[in-house]
């Protein structure tokens, strides 16, 4: 509560989908994609999350899987701050991250 940001749910167990949600006063579903682009266990994925102004994009292995434009239905779109990545599974799940990088993009 009180953290206004987005989070991306990648591997979601056997659900077969991936989501973008917006936090704040509750969790608001912004985008759902089927099939889950990160459904195969035991392999590496290249995930890129791009946020420019009100637009949020998620790429997995170079393929665009989410394109969400926040038009302010849940209040003004967050323009700075934190971003969350969530892995969800009913069974034990181990995740590893390599070459994690956060950088500012040049305004165009």
Kindly report, residue by residue over 53-69, the tens digit of the pLDDT: 999 999 999 999 999 99
- Opening angle at CA 69, ends 68 and 73, nearest 5: 110
Residue 31: per-residue pLDDT: 93
Please answer whether residues 75 and 91 qualify as being in contact, where contact means their C-beta atoms are separated by less than 8 angstroms.
no
Check pLDDT > 70 for residue 83.
no
The model carries a pTM of: 0.84
């Amino acid at each position: 509560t009180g953290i206004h940001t987005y989070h991306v749910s990648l591997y979601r167990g056997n659900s077969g989908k991936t989501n973008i949600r917006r936090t704040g006063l509750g969790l608001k579903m912004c985008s759902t994609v089927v099939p889950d682009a990160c459904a195969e266990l035991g392999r590496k994925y290249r995930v890129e999350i791009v946020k420019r102004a009100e637009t949020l994009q998620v790429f997995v292995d170079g393929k665009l899987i989410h394109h969400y434009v926040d038009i302010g239905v849940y209040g003004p779109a967050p323009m700075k701050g934190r971003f969350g990545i969530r892995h969800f599974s009913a069974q034990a799940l181990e995740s590893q991250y390599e070459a994690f990088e956060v950088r500012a993009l040049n305004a165009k």
